[in-house]
Amino acid sequence: MEIEENERRVLARFKSDTGEEVGNLVDLPITVTTEQLTSLCNSLLNQEDEPTPFAFFVEEKEIVKTLEGVLDTSNELNAENVVDIVYQRQSIFRVQAVTRCTSSMPGHAEAVISVKFSPDGEKLASGSGDTTVRFWDVVTQTPHHTCKGHKNWVLCIAWSPDSTRLVSGCKNGAILQWDPNTGQQKGQLMKGHTQWITALAWKPYHSDPSSRYFASSSKDGDIRIWDAFLCKCIRILTGHTKSVTALQWGGAGLMYSASQDTTIRVWRADDGVLCRTLKGHAHWVNTLTLNVDYVLKRGSSFDPNVSVDPSNPETVHKAAKDRYDLVVSGSGERLVSGSDDFTLYLWNPEKDSKPIARMTGHQQLVNDVRFSPDTRTLASASFDKSIRLWDGRNGRFITTLRGHVQAVYMISWSADSRLLVSGSADSTLKVWSMKTKKLMHDLPGHQDEVFAVDWSSDGSKVASGGKDKVLKMWQH
Amino acid sequence: MPQNEFIERHRKLYGRKLDYEERKRKREAREPHKRAERARTLRGLKAKIFNKERRNEKIQMKKKIKAHEEKQVKQKHENVKEGALPVYLLDRDVQSNAKVLSNMIKQKRKEKAGKWDVPIPKVRAQGDSEVFKVIKSGKSKRKAWKRMVTKICYVGEGFTRKPPKFERFIRPMGLRFNKAHVTHPELKATFYLPIIGVKKNPSSQMFTSLGVITKGTIIECNVSELGMVTQAGKVVWGKYAQVTNNPENDGCINAVLLV
């Protein structure tokens, strides 16, 4: 009898997170560990030579140590029942959590409003209230170039997907293009918007390898598509009745814009036709994110486990296209919007104008929402001082991350989806672990509110800027 | 009474007198001289009225000139405003409060030294006779060891009175306060904040322990609703403030925050 107690076994079956079954039924002891499950799963998938890490779930509960922990052992284990073990492929590389401030870079004479790493992670740019855009050397952490040209606060910046150019928009509604290597202005000033620029988005790399087109949205309610080579506006999309707050250029040729008139509009980027209007929110829509955000953001650079010859533009283009197709193959492009009515909506904007899910729980407006790079998790930052995590496929609530003592302004995922960093009005950054769903590191150091934070795509650095006019770099 | 606008009609038909403009110019050129003459010769009430009118005229003139000058300056350059905000805060009414970065270490060091750089450095000392009223007790009112505090007090929340027979210091309920109007010197804003405790009454250590609040007393206030944050990102809870009025005279406590 006792022997039997130690050797309780269950019939199990492996399933991928999209629902495909792998191999036959296996007879497992319930004391099996996650390491053993990983090697077993790798051998079932015939990839013993290139093993990948996995996370396992039974009925949506994660197996932390052994299978025993998640099985309902109070009930008599039925030998007839088959336990479905869902495996999720994790990224092979691991990003180390940032723990310390390696440098504070003064230079800006006013609050730092936007901070962005280039898609290849080798360059860093920041826009500030002192009307300059500055480029910083990531390796030596020193200033590179100061770009003067704007006449008012530089509100948003965006790197071209091939990392060769940067566009910046200011409060006067002017857009300028910069060369990160020389710090010189490229082309002419692009004027057209009558009010300040709220967002900039480049056409994705896989549909525009030369990085020619980008779009800008403005407080005046218009969206303009620009030709970056000719510095000319080629199309104006009008329709929103109030300020456009967020803009995303999807990979399937659609463009998504959110506005204070409570709607989200889906445009066909090629001819500017309004495809769909997504209604549901009851107040301003503040932010948008796509599940393909990360692959679009990477542009012409790749994760370390993908080997692409960078000298051959055709292979790079093809690899980018393949990578995009892989991500959308599961569920297509998904859009998530966060709003002033404290809710988030999950949309399938390519096909349907009805939301898939409505995510409620925040007690204050949602300021930022981001898909994790593996598209499985959503994180939303709110003025109620909390960050909430949601399932990226069905919008199910996962957990709340509490720790900030004031409004959370911005969040950024690490490239391996295991870590999240958040910047807040309480002048700290906090690093959260997705494994434990808890606070991992508290990073004080800023003197005042943190307005912008970005995690470099190679995962080694975090840059943040805020009201105290200093740009800070954080590393392991 | 003219039955028609015949003067205007004539002007339209035949124009003005040929030397009209010339005469007008000369008349206007003579005007300051005439005015000066009047100013010199007028006497009495008429002079008073004249001077008053002239003064008002000059004020209006100067105002107009100034307004014109400002208009011209504005056209030249538009200054970039300070206090840049990110896009997501632009449409929200964010108070551009210069957030005070409280320096906890500094305050602690000051606390140790027992000295503050306070708004009211010198306060008139309050004598015992002024603060306490002697109360006679005993059957024939011969004993005089009881004292009643005649100034405003702060009494902690958990305080329970001693049995009346043994109570040496009586702090009347009517003179107890637990909230103060605290002004933030940099924000220039006043908040009605709960008092946490009396840190120091400069007159005497005994007043401090009794919680007597007079002018110049340092009190500790609950500033959590101001939303101040330390450098480590923790909420500042208690902060010191100095009383700036005579609460026993005014019936309220006004204080200024020490930052």
Task: Give the chain B residue whose CA is nearest to the CA of A286.
Answer: B88
Q: Which residues of chain A from 124 to 153 reach within 8 Å of chain B, CB to CB?
A: 128-131, 151-153
Q: Answer yes or no: do B83 and A151 touch at CB < 8 A.
A: no
Q: How confident is the model at residue B99 (pLDDT cuts 50, 70, 90)?
A: very low
Three-state SS annotation for chain B: CCCCCHHHHHHHHHCCCCCHHHHHHHHHHHHHHHHHHHHHHCCHHHHHHHHHHHHHHHHHHHHHHHHHHHHHHHHHCCCCCCCCCCHHHHCCCCCCCCCCCCCHHHHHHHHHHCCCCCCCCCCCCCCHHHHEEEEEECCCCCEEEEEEECCEECCCCCCCCCCCCCCCEECCHHHECCEEEEEECCCCEEEEEEEEEEEECCCCHHHHHHCEECCCCEEEEECHHHCCECCCCCECCEEEEEECCCHHHHCCCEEEECC
**Do residues A349 and A378 make contact, with C-beta atoms less than 8 angstroms apart?**
no
Strands A366-371 and A355-359: unpaired
Q: Which of A151, A284, A452 lies at the smallest CB-CB distance from B86?
A: A452
Residues with Cβ < 8 Å from B231, sequence gap 6 or more? A427, A444, A445, A447, B101, B103, B104
A451 contacts on B by Cβ (under 8 Å): 85-86
pLDDT in tens, A210-227: 888 999 999 999 999 999
How far is A278 from chain B, CA to nearest CA, in Å?
A: 21
pLDDT of residue B102: 42
Q: Is residue B77 less than 8 Å (CB to CB) from chain A?
A: no
- Write the CATH number of the domain with boundaries A5-89: 3.10.20.90
The answer to whether residue B95 scores a pLDDT higher than 60 is no
Residue of A nearest to B224 (CA): A405
Provide the chain A residues 376-415 that lie in CB contact (below 8 A) with chain B.
404-406, 409
What are the DSSP calls for A98-120, one per residue? P-EEEEEE---SS-EEEEEE-TT
Domain count, chain B: 2
User: What CATH number is associated with residue B150?
Assistant: 2.40.10.310
Q: What is the pLDDT of residues A277-292, one digit of tens each?
A: 999 999 999 999 998 8
* Higher local confidence (pLDDT), B93 or B174: B174
Query: Which residues in chain B are contacts of A219 at CB distance < 8 A?
Result: 90-91
Nearest one of A427, A458, A414 to A97, comparing CA atoms = A414
Smallest Cα distance from A128 to chain B, Å: 8
Entry pTM: 0.70
**pLDDT tens string B192-239:** 999 999 999 999 899 999 999 999 999 999 988 777 777 777 778 889
How far apart, in Å, are the Cα atoms of A372 and each of A98, A137, A400? Answer: 18, 27, 16
Q: What is the pLDDT of residue B76?
A: 52
Cβ of A153 and B88 within 8 Å? no
3-state secondary structure B80-144: CCCCCCCHHHHCCCCCCCCCCCCCHHHHHHHHHHCCCCCCCCCCCCCCHHHHEEEEEECCCCCEE
* d(CA B235, nearest CA chain A) in Å: 7
* Residue A441, token pair as written in the block: 């590191």
Residue B61 covered by a domain: no
Residue B226 in domain: yes
Q: Per the structure block, which two tokens stand in for B149?
A: 């505090």
Distance, CA of B257 to CA of B259 (rounded, Å): 6
Asked if residue B64 is part of any domain, the answer here is: no
- Residue holding tokens 């330390």? B230
Which residues neighbour A332 within 8 Å (Cβ) at sequence distance 6 or greater? A348, A350, A351
Per-residue pLDDT band for B108 (boundaries 50, 70, 90) equals low
User: How distant is the Cα of B77 from the closest Cα of chain A, in angstroms?
Assistant: 10
Residues of B in contact with A284 (CB under 8 A): 91
Is B49 touching A (CB cutoff 8 A)? no
Q: Is B7 on the interface with A (CB under 8 A)?
A: no
A465 in contact with B at a CB cutoff of 8 Å?
no
In a domain, B116, yes or no: no
H or E, element range at A159? strand A154-159
Here the ipTM equals 0.77
Using CA atoms, how far apart are residues A69 and A141, in angstroms rounded to an integer? 46
**Comparing C-alpha atoms, which of A56, A45, A58 is closest to residue A84?**
A58
CB contact under 8 A, A156 and B87: yes
Measured between CB atoms, does A346 come within 8 Å of chain B?
no
Report the half-sphere exposure of A450 (CA within 13 A, side-chain side): 36
Those of residues 32-71 in A touching chain B at CB distance below 8 A are none
Contacts of A449 in chain B (CB under 8 A): 99
A195 CB near a chain B CB, below 8 Å?
no
* DSSP code, position A97: P
Q: What pLDDT does residue A78 have?
A: 61
Instruction: Say whether residue B84 is in contact with chain A using an 8 A CB cutoff.
Output: yes
Does A196 lie at the interface with B, CB-CB under 8 angstroms?
yes
Q: A129 and B80 in contact by Cβ < 8 A?
A: yes
Q: Does the beta-carbon distance from A111 to B80 stay under 8 Å?
A: no
Q: Which residues fall within 8 angstroms of residue A269, CB to CB, at 6 or more apart?
A: A203, A215, A225, A249, A253, A254, A255
b/e per residue A245-279 (b: at least 16 CB within 10 A): bbbbbbbeebbbbbbbbbbbbbbebeebeeebebe
Q: Where are the alpha helices (DSSP H) in A69-200?
A: none
B77 touches A151 (CB < 8 A): no
Structural domain that includes position B27: 1-42
Nearest CA in chain A to B86: A113
Residues in chain B within 8 Å Cβ distance of A110: 82, 84
Listed in order, the ranges of chain A carrying CATH 2.130.10.10 are 100-475
Give me the residues of A, 348-367, that contact B with CB < 8 A.
367
Residue that has been written with the tokens 């679009």 in this structure: A296
Superfamily of A100-475 according to CATH: YVTN repeat-like/Quinoprotein amine dehydrogenase (2.130.10.10)
Task: Tell me the CA end-to-end span of chain A in Å, nearest whole number.
Answer: 52
B227 at A interface, C-beta within 8 A: yes
Is residue A328 very low, low, confident or very high in pLDDT (cuts 50, 70, 90)?
confident
Q: Please state whether beta strands B179-184 and B254-257 pair in parallel, antiparallel, or not at all (unpaired).
A: parallel
CA distance linking residue A290 with residue A295, whole number of Å: 10
Q: Do A286 and B82 touch (CB under 8 A)?
A: no
DSSP A68: G
Is A94 within 8 Å of A137 (Cβ atoms)? no
Mean pLDDT of B106-133: 72
Q: How many cross-chain Cβ pairs, A to B, lie less than 8 Å apart?
A: 81
pLDDT tens-digit series, residues B47-75: 999 999 999 999 999 999 998 888 776 55
What is the predicted pLDDT for the residue at B50? Answer: 96
Interface contact A131-B83, CB threshold 8 A: no
The yes-or-no verdict on residue A3 having pLDDT over 50 is: no
Per-residue pLDDT averaged across A377-398, rounded? 91
Question: What residues does A453 pair with on adjacent strands?
Answer: A464
In this complex, is the C-beta atom of B105 within 8 Å of any C-beta atom belonging to chain A?
Answer: no
Cβ–Cβ < 8 Å for A116, A44:
no
